[in-house]
């Protein structure tokens, strides 16, 4: 049999060994799905603490309960290591490592390069290598292929290579790895075929495209679509504020149109692992081709300015109470980047807290999911206990993240002044004066 036929046979019989590099919020759910599909899965993770925790069947990813891990670890279907050498027997390897932005807003590819270099050292003929990390168009061909060629491989012939963007939405109770369609693009038809075969064993629908670059562009379009539309509705909120119009009423009424409109909602800024960052990968790539991605740049400018708008709201609301921001006691409710998760990456709450502190406010925060946060200068702030007193002693309560566990009626009943950036207290009547975004 050919190398392709051998791999397809091992995948169809579920006797292939599956490797995952990076066991975070993307890699661990993927590893669990493959293990539950009957494969032997080995994950490589740079954090020894996470490896030890995983091997104790203790999950550190919110979407994967420890109870789901335990039978997989106990029967040896899922194991983890810090050593790339443990991937030598793998038939397939999916790379799921972070791709952050540098301070200069250009892509930091160091994690991907480190992962590809590690895999290239243990690669063997017939192996499938899939990059899942979100990145700029051209990454698969520019970074992975040369490193495999340097080791004497012929990508597309004796090793298979593809890109398949992760589509994880942390905290989403409806869509997970299995029921979210998977886009795949191989460097040639053979690579696409084996990648489709791999993911079809654990995912309900696989969508092949013509190339890795097309697959890379799919993910960037998805998140650029969201970033631009959130930027639009955030600007609409700014305009409605100046016009004295309730932006939420406008959105609600516009949503009654059964065609040609999709509602997006304003907020204190963008956060998370994808929407604030991924479009800037595309913008950076286009600059190298002497093209300006104007929608992306403008949306980023608007979205990153929203924390300053929130500060202005707090300042004006305190002024109306004859108080200044300097010396005011301000409580921030929710610091995660979105509802019901513990992730604070790129959270606008961090900017809001830092800006208020710079203006002399005394800040405390509460978040049921986030025990502590790290601010500028590596300062650490601990979450305060939620209580009547926490709210009643505050000159202003700023709602940044609308976790579903909060009793908003209680918040309104025990606060004096609320700046509500999430429309969480709408229609609630109580003691507090509520200032919307």
Question: Residues with catalytic annotation?
Answer: 274
Return the structure tokens found at 369.
């999911």
Give CA angle at 60 (80, 18), nearest 5°.
30
Contacts for 124 with CB less than 8 Å, ≥ 6 apart = 88
Backbone angles phi, psi at 41, to 5 degrees: -120, 130
Q: How far apart are CA 216 and CA 200, in angstroms?
A: 19
What one-character DSSP code corresponds to residue 431?
A: S
* DSSP track, 61-112: STTS-HHHHHHHHHTTSEEEES-GGGGTT-SEEEE-----B-TTSSB--HHH
What one-character DSSP code corresponds to residue 378?
A: G
Which among 201, 224, 371, 212 has a CA at the least distance from the CA of 297?
224
Q: How far apart are CA 385 and CA 390, in angstroms?
A: 8
Which among 101, 103, 100, 89 has a CA at the least distance from the CA of 41?
89
User: 336, 403 in Cβ contact below 8 A?
Assistant: yes
Please name the helix (run of DSSP H) or strand (run of DSSP E) that holds residue 405, with its range, or none: none
* DSSP track, 185-253: EESSHHHHHHHHHHHHTT-S-EEE-S-HHHHHHHHHHHHHHHHHHHHHHHHHHHHHHHHT--HHHHHHH
Pairing label, strands 362-366, 160-163: unpaired
Cα–chain center distance at 347:
11
Torsion, CA 282, CA 284, CA 285, CA 290, rounded to 10: 120
Pairing label, strands 206-208, 380-382: unpaired
Q: How far apart are CA 271 and CA 232, in angstroms?
A: 16
């Amino acid at each position: 049999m050919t190398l392709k036929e051998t791999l397809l046979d091992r995948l169809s019989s579920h006797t292939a060994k599956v490797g995952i590099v990076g066991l975070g919020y993307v890699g661990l759910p993927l590893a669990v799905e493959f293990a539950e599909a009957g494969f032997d899965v080995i994950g490589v993770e740079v954090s020894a603490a996470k490896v030890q925790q995983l091997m104790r069947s203790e999950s550190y990813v919110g979407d994967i309960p420890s109870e789901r891990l335990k039978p997989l670890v106990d029967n040896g279907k899922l194991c983890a290591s810090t050593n790339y050498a443990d991937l030598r027997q793998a038939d397939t390897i999916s790379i799921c490592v972070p791709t952050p932005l540098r301070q200069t807003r250009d892509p930091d590819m160091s994690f991907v390069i480190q992962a590809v270099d590690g895999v290239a050292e243990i690669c063997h003929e017939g192996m499938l290598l899939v990059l899942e990390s979100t990145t700029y168009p051209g990454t698969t061909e520019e970074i992975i292929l040369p490193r495999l060629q340097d080791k004497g491989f012929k990508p597309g012939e004796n090793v298979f290579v593809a890109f398949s963007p992760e589509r994880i939405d942390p905290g989403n109770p409806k869509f997970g790895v299995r029921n979210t369609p998977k886009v795949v693009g191989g460097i040639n038809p053979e690579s696409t075929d084996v990648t489709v075969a791999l993911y079809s064993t654990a995912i309900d629908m696989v969508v092949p495209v013509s190339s890795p670059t097309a697959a890379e562009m799919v993910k960037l379009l998805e998140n650029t679509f969201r970033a631009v539309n959130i930027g639009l509705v955030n600007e609409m909120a700014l305009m409605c504020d100046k016009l004295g119009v309730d932006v939420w009423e406008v959105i609600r009424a516009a949503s009654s149109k059964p065609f040609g409109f999709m509602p997006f909602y304003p907020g204190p800024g963008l956060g998370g692992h994808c929407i604030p960052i991924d479009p800037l990968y595309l913008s950076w790539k286009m600059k190298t081709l002497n093209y300006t991605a104007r929608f992306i740049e403008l949306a980023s400018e608007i979205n990153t300015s929203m924390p300053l708008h929130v500060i202005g709201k707090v300042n004006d609301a305190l002024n109306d109470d004859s108080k200044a921001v300097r010396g005011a006691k301000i409580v921030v409710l929710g610091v995660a980047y979105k509802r019901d998760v513990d992730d604070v990456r790129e959270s606008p709450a961090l900017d809001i807290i830092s800006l208020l502190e710079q203006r002399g406010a005394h800040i405390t925060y509460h978040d049921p999911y986030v025990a502590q946060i790290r601010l500028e200068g590596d300062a650490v702030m601990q979450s305060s206990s939620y209580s009547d007193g926490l709210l009643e002693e505050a000159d202003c309560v700023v709602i940044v993240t609308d976790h579903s566990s909060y009793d908003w009626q209680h918040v309104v009943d025990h606060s004096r002044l609320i700046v509500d950036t999430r429309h969480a207290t709408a229609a609630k009547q109580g003691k507090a004066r509520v200032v919307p975004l």
